[in-house]
Amino acid sequence: MFVAESKAASVSVKQGELNGIISKLAHHGYEGMIHSMIRAACSIAGVDASQLDRESVLVGRRYIYDESGRLLMGDVFFHGDSFFILDETKGKLRATEVRHCAATSALDAFCQAVTTASKVVIDGRRLRGMSLDWIEEKPDFGAFDRMYGPPRKVDPLESIPPDYTEEEADKYVALIDDDNRNLLITLAQARGKALSVDADSEARGKGVPQLLSSGIIRREYLVKCRKDQHLIVSIDDRDQLDAGVGDIFHCATCGRLFREEIVEQIYVLSEFGRRLLSGSRWMMIWITELLRRFGLVAEQIRWSGSAGDDEIDIMTDLQGTKVFFELKDRDFDLGDAYPFAFRVARYGGDWGIIVTTGRVAAEVKSFLKESPREFGNVRFETIEGGKSIPSQLPDVLMKISEFNIRRLVYPITEYTGFNLAPYVNAWMKRVGEAYKGKHPSLIGRTA
């Protein structure tokens, strides 16, 4: 997944000064792509690039001007496994780095190079009234949207931060296995009654030790009268039958000691297990843990976004893009698709992600691909098949992050007329392949 980070310094420059800073950055290993292109073209034409009217060369559809009315143009710098954008906005120099989330940030080094270049280029008397302290700020992903009108009006959602215990985060993995989960669903449907050990299939039996050790299920022992089979009592601890109540109490019907009666071992869904299954809570924990593993921080993730009867399972802010998740521990059909798509559009989602342990119906995929106009520009993705979710989710996050990076650089294309998209796409493909399978939580850890 690609991320962007920005820092700004209170330095107001004119176009000539910004050009000089960009030129000086080449001495530090940062070649401005657009300015280098102009210089190369001027060299071929045998003209002085500094005398060239850039507005006559870069004819974009939208312009950004400084106080003198001239086009104030920054540049893009591809450098190793990062690329940087340097521009001037609202009286500040802004530096933005784009990198893979598993790569080490190089933004501070770039800002230091800009500081050094600025001290050489900008007149000292002007510079004294400015500050070259670089302060973090959010990257401006919204510039693309502002070009095409005011933000859309959306209904508000109430939500909560992810709320689960360390024990839940450690034990939910037992439910990823379909056989384990089916056994638990059967227990849950028994409404507190138990499932006989003898009734277990061989496949279910394999998961029982894991479920027991996780505390998701527990054993109970039913003491039944040998005379008429009625249930006398249920006991949690078998030892109590052999050396405890089993040697003290008698059946009121047949008079035998409890330990002499029929004892049947059963499995019971624990309160802990019932809580994990309730509302597919285990799945919310699972997806949250995966999102954090793949580069999101806790503050970017919200649970149970609600307004009236509408609810969104998980919401994330992925670099200014709202991503809504719908989680289903079963097949996802057309009756699920329309309500989810409507909620995503109504509450301002940019992407709607369906995650199901089952299958997504073919008609759902067709519906989402040709979603009605009322859903606006919302994009949808589907992730299906329990055990494949961890491998599919990072690909979807990568797709969203690549879309965001294109939004970040598109305004440069708009005001210069120079299409950066093919270069940015090729760079993301190269870096994405180099870091494939690497995530922040895995850095520095040996396999």
| pLDDT tens digits for range 357-382 | 999 999 999 988 876 666 778 899 99
Span 9-23, average pLDDT:
88
E strand or H helix at 290: helix 281-293
Mean pLDDT of the chain: 84
Per-residue confidence (pLDDT) for residue 324, from 0 to 100: 95
Q: What angle do CA 14, 19, 23 make, to 5 degrees?
A: 150
The predicted model gives 327-353 an average pLDDT of 91
Q: What's the mean pLDDT in 234-263?
A: 83
- Give the bridge partners for 380, in sequence order: 352
Distances (CA, A) of 368 to 108, 139, 357: 42, 30, 19
Higher pLDDT, 124 or 190: 124
Determine the average pLDDT of the residues in 101-128.
91
pLDDT at 53 over 80: no
Decide if pLDDT at 61 tops 60. no
d(CA 117, CA 110): 11
User: Quick one: tokens of 226?
Assistant: 């040998």
pLDDT at 439: 74
Asked if pLDDT for residue 69 goes beyond 60, the answer is no
What's residue 25's pLDDT? 96
108-143 burial string, b = 16+ CB within 10 Å, else e? Answer: ebbbebbbbbbeebbeeeeeeebebebeeeebbbeb
In this predicted structure, what is the pLDDT of residue 234? 85
Largest CA distance in the chain: 113
Domains of the chain: 2-139 (no CATH), 158-162+280-405+437-442 (3.40.1350.10), 166-276 (1.10.10)
pLDDT at res. 77: 96
3-state secondary structure of 51: helix
User: Higher model confidence: residue 203 or residue 149?
Assistant: 149
Distances (CA, A) of 168 to 84, 164, 442: 41, 6, 22
pLDDT band (50, 70, 90) for residue 33: very high
What's residue 167's pLDDT?
92
Average pLDDT over residues 133-148: 79
Of residues 145 and 65, which shows the higher confidence score?
145
> Is the pLDDT at 261 greater than 70, yes or no?
yes
- Which residue would you say has higher pLDDT here, 229 or 371? 229
Asked if pLDDT for residue 299 goes beyond 50, the answer is yes
Length of the chain, please? 447
**Mean pLDDT of the region 397-404:** 92
Band (442; pLDDT cuts 50, 70, 90): very low
Cα–Cα–Cα angle for 43, 19, 5, rounded to 5 degrees: 120
pLDDT at 353: 96
Other beta carbons within 10 angstroms of residue 285's beta carbon come to: 22
The whole-model pTM stands at 0.82
